[in-house]
């Protein structure tokens, strides 16, 4: 058994590191990877960032947009979270094993958590049930992983602000998140911290599998140049992965939102078909649709249109 700790807060590097460990670790080994990210919104593999999060607010605050390789819903990360990844052999993988380890680790702090039907971890508070951990999964022929986040002292105000959609589409493919009331574990137990929870997770992991764990601390400056890590990192950071992997969706927007190349004074509306993050078609509804030059927009990244609108608001 092995336990890895990342010292980096770079979300793209940590996901690249996770993938590198997943791909290169001996497939028969049980592994636990612990990590934290700088402020980021992390969407699932099949999700739409415009539908899931508040991109203008994130861009203004320098909050990273990250797309992970597993499915599931959107989550907010900051240094008040502890993130974990269990990597197991495919032939012995059971989700229940990992949830038992998580529940046992939290029990060290007198916290009684339980698994929901949606594979969240919940705790009971005076205000009712609260989510403290979201989880997602990935399976290959030889290995499986289960990763998630534990809220310790996350900025819940920012979580609420950034997990509001930028757009409300007419039609959209892909997975939609289901919102749940959340709580910080630090509000329920004053002694819990990233370091103490890391120790509890390591001990619960070792106790469950009945053996000693070797531990290793991973530093970005030591690993970033490894070809496999570098390739994963470039993919995680790329526009093509973060925005271009978005399933097709359709927005209805005012013509004025499209900036230049609009008829008359921009009155009217347009249905914009966006596929893989780029404008594929525009259907115009106005008094003189023939004057609209949709060819000027086809193929443009939708985030460029949106950032142009934000720039205009700032200048105005």
For 231-275, write each residue's pLDDT tens digit. 999 999 999 999 999 999 998 888 777 765 555 555 788 899 999
Residue 212 burial (CB < 10 Å; 0-12/13-18/19+)?
Answer: exposed
Average pLDDT (139-153) is 95
Say what the pLDDT of residue 268 is: 81
Residue environment code for 12-30, b if the CB has 16+ CB neighbours within 10 A, otherwise e = bbbbbbbbbbbeebebeeb
Consecutive H or E run containing 40: strand 40-43
| Backbone φ/ψ region at 285: left (φ over 0), alpha (ψ -120 to 50), beta | beta
Strands 249-254 and 269-275: antiparallel
Pick from 3-17, 163-177, 260-274 the range whose average pLDDT is largest.
3-17
Q: What is the pLDDT of residues 191-216, one digit of tens each?
A: 999 999 999 999 999 999 998 889 99
3-state secondary structure of 170: coil
Say what the pLDDT of residue 312 is: 31
State the average pLDDT for the chain.
Answer: 89
66 DSSP β-pair partners: 42
> How far is residue 291's CA from residue 297's CA, in Å, rounded to a whole number?
14
Locate 35 and state its tokens.
């990590």
Say what the pLDDT of residue 46 is: 92
Average pLDDT (137-166) is 93
Say what the pLDDT of residue 311 is: 36
Consecutive H or E run containing 21: helix 11-24
- Residue 86 pLDDT greater than 90, yes or no: yes
- Residue 123 pLDDT greater than 50, yes or no: yes
- Residue 219 pLDDT greater than 80, yes or no: yes
Dihedral angle, C-alpha 71, 74, 79, 83, nearest 10 °: -20
Say what the pLDDT of residue 269 is: 84
Confirm if 111 and 104 have CB atoms less than 8 A apart. no
The helix/strand count (H/E) of the chain reads as 10, 15
**Domains in the chain with CATH codes:** 2-242 (3.30.930.10), 249-315 (no CATH)
* Helix/strand/coil percent split, the chain, to 5: 35, 30, 40
């Amino acid at each position: 058994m092995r336990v890895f700790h990342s010292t980096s807060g770079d979300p793209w590097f940590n996901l690249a590191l996770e993938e590198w460990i997943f791909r290169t670790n001996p497939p028969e080994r049980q592994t636990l990877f612990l990590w934290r990210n700088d402020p980021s919104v992390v969407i699932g593999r099949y999700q739409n960032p415009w539908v899931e999060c508040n991109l203008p607010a994130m861009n203004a605050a320098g909050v990273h947009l990250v797309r992970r390789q597993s499915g599931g819903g959107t989550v907010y990360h900051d240094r008040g979270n502890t993130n974990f990844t269990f990597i197991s052999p495919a032939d012995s993988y059971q989700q229940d094993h990992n949830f038992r380890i998580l529940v046992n680790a939290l029990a060290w702090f007198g916290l009684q958590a339980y698994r929901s039907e949606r594979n969240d971890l919940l705790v009971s508070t005076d205000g009712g049930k609260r989510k403290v951990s979201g989880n997602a999964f990935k399976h290959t022929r030889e290995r499986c992983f289960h990763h998630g986040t534990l809220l310790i002292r996350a900025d819940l105000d920012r979580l609420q602000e950034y997990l509001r959609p930028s757009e409300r589409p007419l039609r959209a493919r892909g997975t939609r998140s289901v919102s749940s009331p959340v709580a910080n574990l630090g509000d329920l137990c004053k002694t819990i911290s990233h370091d103490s929870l890391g120790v509890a997770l390591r001990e619960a992991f070792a106790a469950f599998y009945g053996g000693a764990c070797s531990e290793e601390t991973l530093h970005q400056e030591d690993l970033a140049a490894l070809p496999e890590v570098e390739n994963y990192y470039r993919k995680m950071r790329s526009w093509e992965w973060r925005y271009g992997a978005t399933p097709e969706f359709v927005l209805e927007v005012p013509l004025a939102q499209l900036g230049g190349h609009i008829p008359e004074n921009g009155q009217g509306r347009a249905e914009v078909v966006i596929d893989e993050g780029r404008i594929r078609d525009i259907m115009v509804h106005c008094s003189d649709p023939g004057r609209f030059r949709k060819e000027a927009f086809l193929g443009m990244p939708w985030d460029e249109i949106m950032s142009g609108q934000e720039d205009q608001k700032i200048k105005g």
